[in-house]
């Protein structure tokens, strides 16, 4: 089942790929989306994966919140969308966790 969170993760991965930065980050985002698509709503696996995603936001310096899509000329125009989606992802994951892993 595809949800808003899956779609956000996939779009974030697309933006990272388009920026030419960190292929491992893009692959990690896609992997989270795949795991959520396969997990049943309300299942322990889904709740665990949501928790893993939310933990990305508490990594401190050098973590997920420090990612800036840029090249040698500076911050890329797509960074604004990336930043908005990163915030939207946190809100969506937190809301779903409050509902017991049910989208």
Distance separating alpha carbons of residues 37 and 55, to the nearest angstrom: 19
If one compares 1 and 6, the residue with the highest pLDDT of the two is 6
pLDDT more than 70, % of the chain = 98
Model-level pTM greater than 0.85? yes
| pLDDT of 1 | 65
Measure Cα distances from 8 to 3, 5, 53, 103 in Å: 9, 5, 12, 13
Q: How many CA atoms lie within 13 A of 58 on its CB side?
A: 5
User: What confidence category does residue 70 fall into, taking pLDDT thresholds of 50, 70 and 90?
Assistant: very high
**36 in Cβ contact with 3 (< 8 Å):** yes
Looking at residue 103, its pLDDT comes to: 80
């Amino acid at each position: 089942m595809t949800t808003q969170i899956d779609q956000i993760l996939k779009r974030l991965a697309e933006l990272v790929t388009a920026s030419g930065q960190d292929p491992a980050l893009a692959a990690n985002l896609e992997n989270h989306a795949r795991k959520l698509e396969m997990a049943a709503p309300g299942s322990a696996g889904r709740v665990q994966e949501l928790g893993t995603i939310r933990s990305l936001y508490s990594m401190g310096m050098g973590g997920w919140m420090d990612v800036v899509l840029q090249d040698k000329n500076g911050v890329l125009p797509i960074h604004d969308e990336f930043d908005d989606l990163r915030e939207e992802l946190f809100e969506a994951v937190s809301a779903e966790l409050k509902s017991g892993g049910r989208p």
